[in-house]
Amino acid sequence: MEVFPNSCLPRYLILLILLQLPTLDSAVFLAAHFDVIGPPEPILAVVGDDAELPCHLSPNVSAERMELRWFRKKESPAVLVHRNGREQDGEQLAEYRGRATLVADHIAEGRVAVRIHGVKASDDGEYRCFFRQDENYEEAIVHLKVTALGSDPHIHMEVKESGEIWLECTSVGWYPEPQVQWKTPGEKFPSTSESRNPDVEGLFTVAASVIIRDTSTRNVSCCIQNILLGQEKEVDISIPAPFFLKLTPWMVTVAVILMVLGLLTIGSIFFTWRLYKERSRQRKDEFNSKEKLLEEFKWKKAALHAVNVTLDPDTAHPHLFLYEDSKSVRLEDSRQKLPEKQERFDSWPCVLGCEAFTSGRHYWEVEVGDRTDWAVGVCRENVMKKGFDPMTPENGFWAVELYGNGYWALTPQRTPLPLAGCPRRVGIFLDYESGDISFYNMTDGSHIYTFPNNSFSGPLRPFFCLWSCGKKPLTICPITDGPEGVIIVANTKDLSKEIPPSPMGEDDSASGDTDTLHSKLIPIQPTQGAP
C-alpha cells in the first residue's frame, strides 16, 4: 500500500505529454507550411493617388521574421524588399525608391501590404507578393489597374471647299486608352479617323475626326469615355447654316490683284527678314561672347572664396568607405559595423562635410571623373537622415546629380540639365546671404545650374551621395596648384578687371587608382562586413 502513490506519478506524466502533442504538432505544421493569399479582384488606382497591394498568410501566423518581397517580372531588383525587420533599399528598383513603403500595422497577424505613392501609368500590371521563412516560401499574384480621367474635350471645325465640315475632337491625360463616340440628336456614329498616342508619362492623347456631309446637321457632340472608371467627358459644338459663294468676274479680278500684291509683299518681307537675320546673328555673336566672359568671371570670382572641405565619418552610411585623408569616399557592397548615431544616414548612401556654414561665401570642388551615379551639393545640417525623404529644397537639399545617362537638378520635379560636355570636376559656390547655390563644370568653366533666392536658416554643410559601386571614388579637390593668374577683359565696364589666380587646381591623384587609399572607418586590410 505504501508504493501505490508513487506508481501514479508516471501515469500523470504520460497523460500530460499526450495532452501537449496536438499543440506541438500544430506549431510544427504552421512553421512548416503556409499559403500566401492576394486580393481576388484587381486593385483600381487613379494616377497621382496612392495604392495599396495587400497579401496575407493562411493560417494567420506572424510574418515579422519572414522575408517579404513584392516584385514585377523578376525577384530582384524588386518593388520592395523587407528582411530582418527592415526594408532593403539596395534591392529596390530605382523607379520605386521613395515611392514604395511597407504597411505593417498587422504584420503579427500575417497581413501586410506595399503602398505605392503617386501612382503612374507605368505602375499598371501584375505584381507578385513573395513570403519566405527558412526553406519554405509561397507567393500570390496581385493585379493593379491604373486609370486616369483626361481633360475636357475640345472640338476644332473647318469648312471644306466642297461644303463638307471637318470636326476634330482632342483631349489629353487618359489611361487606359479611352473610347470616342460622336453624337447628334437621336444618332450615334463612329469617328472617320482616330489616334491615341502616349506622352512621356504614359497617358494617352486622343484625336478623333469626323466629316459632316448632311447640311441639315446643326449640333454635334464628342464624348470620350473611361471604361474602368465608368465616367465620360462630353463637349458640344453648333454648326452654322451653310452658304455658298458664286464667283463673279469682278471677284476674280479682285482675287488676282490681291494675289499679286501678296506676292510683292512676301518678297519685300523676305528681303527684310534676310537683313534682320544677318544683323541678329551679328548681335548674337557679340552677346554670346559677353555671356561667356560673364560666366567665366562668375566662377573665377567664386573660386576666391575656396574652403578646405573634409568628410565627416559620423554621418557616413555604413556602405560608404571614407579614406585616411577624409577627402575620398567610395560605395561598397559590404557593410561596415559602425556605431549607431543620430547623425548617420541609414537609408540614402550619403555623407556630409565636417564644415558648417552660417554666413558668408564658400567654394569647393569635387572630382567626379568618369564614374556614374553621384550627387553633390549642400544641405541643412538637420536634414532627416533616417528613412527616404526626397532630396528636394523643401526637405533641405540643394544638389545636382548624374543618374543613368542624364544630369539633373534635384528640384521637386527633377530639372534635366542639357550640358554640352560631361564634367569631370564640379565646383560648388554657396552665397549664404544672397541665398544662392551655384554649380560649375570645371572642365570648361561653364555654368551648370543655380538654386537662386533661397532663405537659409541654420547651418549648411557640404553634401555627397553615391548611387552605385565603382572602383574610382568621389574626391574633394585640394585648394592648391592654381593657375598662375588670369586676366578677363570684357566690353562692359563692369568686367574690365584683373582676376587673381584660382585657388582650385588639378590633382592627378583624384582620378588615379584608389587601391592605394586607406579607409578611415576600417583597418588598412578591411574585413568584409555582413551585408
- Taking only the tens place, the pLDDT of each residue in 383-436 is 999 988 899 999 999 999 999 889 999 999 999 999 988 899 999 999 999 999
- Taking only the tens place, the pLDDT of each residue in 321-353 is 998 688 999 999 999 999 999 999 999 999 999
pLDDT at 354 over 80: yes
pLDDT at 509 over 80: no
Q: Please tell me the least confidently modeled range out of 89-103, 274-288, 474-488.
A: 474-488
The per-residue pLDDT for 446 is 87
The per-residue pLDDT for 421 is 85
d(CA 36, CA 131) in angstroms, rounded, equals: 7
Confidence band (pLDDT; 50, 70, 90) for 29?
very low
Q: Residue 408 corresponds to which amino acid?
A: W
**Other C-beta atoms within 10 Å of 19: how many?**
9
Q: Please tell me the least confidently modeled range out of 74-78, 241-245, 293-297.
A: 241-245
Query: Which residues fall within 8 angstroms of residue 309, CB to CB, at 6 or more apart?
Result: 353, 354, 355, 364, 462, 476
Position with higher pLDDT, 286 vs 257: 257
The per-residue pLDDT for 486 is 32
The DSSP annotation for 141-181 comes to EEEEEEEB--PPPEEEEEE-TTS-EEEEEEEEEEBS--EEE
The per-residue pLDDT for 113 is 94
Q: Which of 143-157, 245-259, 261-275 has the highest mean pLDDT?
A: 143-157
The per-residue pLDDT for 291 is 57
pLDDT at 216 over 90: no
pLDDT at 465 over 70: yes
Distance of CA 298 to CAs 441, 462, 488, Å? Answer: 12, 20, 11
The per-residue pLDDT for 420 is 84
Place of cell 469626323: 210
pLDDT at 290 over 70: no
- Taking only the tens place, the pLDDT of each residue in 121-141 is 999 999 999 999 888 889 999
Confidence band (pLDDT; 50, 70, 90) for 147?
very high
The residues facing 136 across adjacent strands are 133
Grid cell digits, residue 490: 570684357
The dihedrals phi and psi of 355, each to the nearest 5 degrees, come to -75, 140
d(CA 11, CA 89) in angstroms, rounded, equals: 57
Grid cell digits, residue 386: 533616417
Q: Please tell me the least confidently modeled range out of 19-28, 181-190, 229-238, 386-395.
A: 19-28
Is residue 59 reached through a cis peptide bond, with omega within 30 degrees of 0 on the bond before it? Answer: yes
Residues above pLDDT 90, as percent of the chain: 51
The per-residue pLDDT for 257 is 92
d(CA 476, CA 446) in angstroms, rounded, equals: 19
The DSSP annotation for 446-472 comes to EEEEEE-S----S-EEEEEEE-S--SS
For range 145-169, the mean pLDDT: 88
Confidence band (pLDDT; 50, 70, 90) for 219?
confident
Position with higher pLDDT, 502 vs 475: 475
pLDDT at 439 over 90: yes
- For residue 57, the number of C-alpha atoms closer than 13 Å in the C-beta half-sphere is 28
Name the nearest CA neighbour of 488 among 250, 267, 206, 297: 297
Is residue 220 within 8 Å of 186, Cβ to Cβ? no
Distance of CA 320 to CAs 74, 316, 387, 509, Å? Answer: 28, 6, 17, 20
Is residue 474 within 8 Å of 309, Cβ to Cβ? no
For range 191-216, the mean pLDDT: 89
Confidence band (pLDDT; 50, 70, 90) for 86?
confident
The per-residue pLDDT for 80 is 92
Is residue 463 within 8 Å of 397, Cβ to Cβ? yes
Position with higher pLDDT, 505 vs 187: 187
Helix (H) or strand (E) holding 384: none
The per-residue pLDDT for 237 is 87
Name the nearest CA neighbour of 440 among 363, 380, 496: 363
3-state secondary structure of 282: helix
258 phi-psi bin (left φ>0, alpha ψ -120 to 50, beta other)? alpha
pLDDT at 381 over 90: yes
Position with higher pLDDT, 335 vs 217: 335
**Other C-beta atoms within 10 Å of 31: how many?**
12
Q: What is the pTM of this model?
A: 0.41
Task: Return mean pLDDT, the chain.
Answer: 81
pLDDT at 276 over 50: yes
The per-residue pLDDT for 425 is 94
For range 253-263, the mean pLDDT: 89
pLDDT at 108 over 80: yes
